[in-house]
Structure 1
């Protein structure tokens, strides 16, 4: 294949603060930063290192005003524990009409960017994926 996925770019009013939240949330590391952009990547030597796309936060003058056209879905081992941990980092739960039957939790980061925390994979799903 001649095309690879390098990074997800996120417009940011404050790249430093947004990178700090997401690096803490994901357990990632900063690999580049200047006044207008910050890059985070998976922890060195982790199973995601060199596999997961980087996240690049790019400074823009305006704040977030509407729903994201793209959002991240995160797959935890324990949904309730991770939702609580993310809330402690500054994320908040959102009700976008997902209903009580939803198996995911819709949240926003401190800048207001929406993301979802999915349910854990079942043992059968884990076996099927390997």
Structure 2
């Protein structure tokens, strides 16, 4: 018997805003929405596909009453596929991300950023050829 990693839940103040940001970052679409919840993904999960093998998890944004207050214990890494890391950082800044310092030091090959609600993520190596 085994389990599959099917959703990553992100608690936030504004699920619609955060889902829209991450849809732009990752080229995802909205799968489902209801009061206080938005689910996004790059594919339409079916029970058959999930049973057949591990697929990318969906991102599930759920409204909570409190804002983020401390550094994340879990974060996403994103890799640009058709641009340099510097160009992707510029695009993400234009979408509403910010650069943050979580003690990573200078001269790193990745850039630490935060989404519009302050959730940290890293922009890592470019996969552009």
TM-score by length of 2: 0.84
- The structure-2 alpha-carbon separation of the partners of 1:122 and 1:13, relative to structure 1 and needing over 3 Å to count, comes to closer
1:101 Cα deviation (Å)?
A: 2.3
Moved over 4 A (4+): none
SS at match of 1:30: strand
**RMSD of equivalent CA atoms:** 2.0
| CA contact 2:15–2:63 (8 Å) conserved in 1 | yes
Unaligned residue ranges in structure 1 (runs of 5+): 45-49, 124-130
How many matched pairs? 119
TM-score by length of 1: 0.83
1:62 to 63, 66, 69: 66
Unaligned residue ranges in structure 2 (runs of 5+): 45-49
Determine the structure 2 residue equivalent to 1:25.
Answer: 25
Determine the structure 2 residue equivalent to 1:76.
Answer: 80
Q: Which has the higher contact order (CA 8 A, sep 6+)?
A: 2
1:95 Cα deviation (Å)?
A: 1.6
| CA contact 1:27–1:43 (8 Å) conserved in 2 | no
1-side partners of 2:104 and 2:128: how far apart? 22
1:75 Cα deviation (Å)?
A: 1.4
- The structure-2 alpha-carbon separation of the partners of 1:36 and 1:113, relative to structure 1 and needing over 3 Å to count, comes to same
1:120 Cα deviation (Å)?
A: 2.3
2-side partners of 1:101 and 1:62: how far apart? 34
